[in-house]
Amino acid sequence: MAGLRERKKQQTRQHISDVATRLFLERGFVTVTVAEVADAADVSVNTVYNYFPAKEDLFFDREEEVVDLPSRRVRERGPGQSAADALLGGLRQDVEERSSRVGLQGGYDRFLQVIQAAPTLQSRLMGMQIRMSGRLAETLRGEAGAGPDDHTPEVVAGQLMLLYGIAFRTVAHGTAEGASEDDIARLLLEKLDTLERLYGDEVRGYLRRPA
């Protein structure tokens, strides 16, 4: 029964999120109220807040997954892979698969427009990027068994986060310019290759697992 209840809760959460996303993309984040989301999803306002404590949570409903992605890829790196290998490999795979994780999907231009028109979403996005970097640093520190006076994990995390900054800017700029997904993907892969080449040996080899 517990499993069934949990599945129903997840279905309700996803339904509310899907309805909210549709309304935000159609009308903008600022103009849509939580009450309107609740009405369109056929639930109470309290139910919406039970699943999404803040209105911004409705828009960034996968925030925790996004924040944890670089850390998860480091934790799950394979034999012979370094932290940089894991993140570069994951990003390249996302690009090649035209994954929504890097914005290579139809409708991403409207998604960006909604964010640009809502200061609270811009602030939330910045906060997510800070959390992502901080969590990656914590993951690297834990994996390395580094002490509190060792600044290497934090510095390496900052270097590796450049990958995600470049990916976001490249896709956002290309989308705004009307470039095709294939052209954006090609350009992004070229930039990832350049950044990998410019990384020093210590960053490229940090936390390499034995083959």
Whether 148 and 82 map to the same domain: the answer is yes
Q: What are phi and psi of 96, to 5 degrees?
A: -65, -30
Rg for the chain (alpha carbons), in Å?
Answer: 19
Does 118 lie in the same domain as 25? no
Residue ending a domain, choose from 16, 34, 59: 59
Domain termination site, one of 41, 59, 77: 59
The whole-number pLDDT of residue 15 equals 97
Domain boundaries, position 10: 2-59
Residue where one domain finishes, among candidates 59, 80, 108: 59
pTM score of the predicted model: 0.92
Domains contained in the chain, number: 2
Tell whether 73 and 9 lie within a shared domain: no
Give the Cα separation of 204 and 120 in Å (integer). 36
The four Cα atoms 20, 62, 121, 75 give a dihedral, to 10 degrees, of 180
User: Cα(5)–Cα(180) distance, rounded to whole angstroms?
Assistant: 43
pLDDT of 3 reads 84
| pLDDT tens track, the chain, 211 positions | 568 888 999 999 999 999 999 999 999 999 999 999 999 999 999 999 999 999 999 999 999 999 999 999 999 999 999 999 999 999 999 999 999 999 998 889 999 999 999 999 999 999 999 999 999 999 999 999 999 999 999 999 999 999 999 999 999 999 999 999 999 999 999 999 999 999 999 999 999 999 8
110 and 165 both lie in a single domain: yes
Residue-level pLDDT at 2? 62
165/196 same-domain check: yes
Question: Is the same domain home to 48 and 117?
Answer: no
Q: Residue 15 domain-assigned?
A: yes
- Are 14 and 81 contained in the same domain? no
Residue 192 lies in a domain: yes
What is the model's pLDDT at position 99? Answer: 93
Q: Residue 211: inside a domain, yes or no?
A: no
Q: What is the CATH number of the domain that holds 14?
A: 1.10.10.60
Q: Are residues 122 and 180 in the same domain?
A: yes
Same domain, 54 and 82: no
pLDDT for 4 equals 84
Q: What would the two tokens of residue 134 be?
A: 């901080």
- The answer to the question of residue 88 being in a domain is yes
Q: What was the pLDDT predicted at 1? A: 59
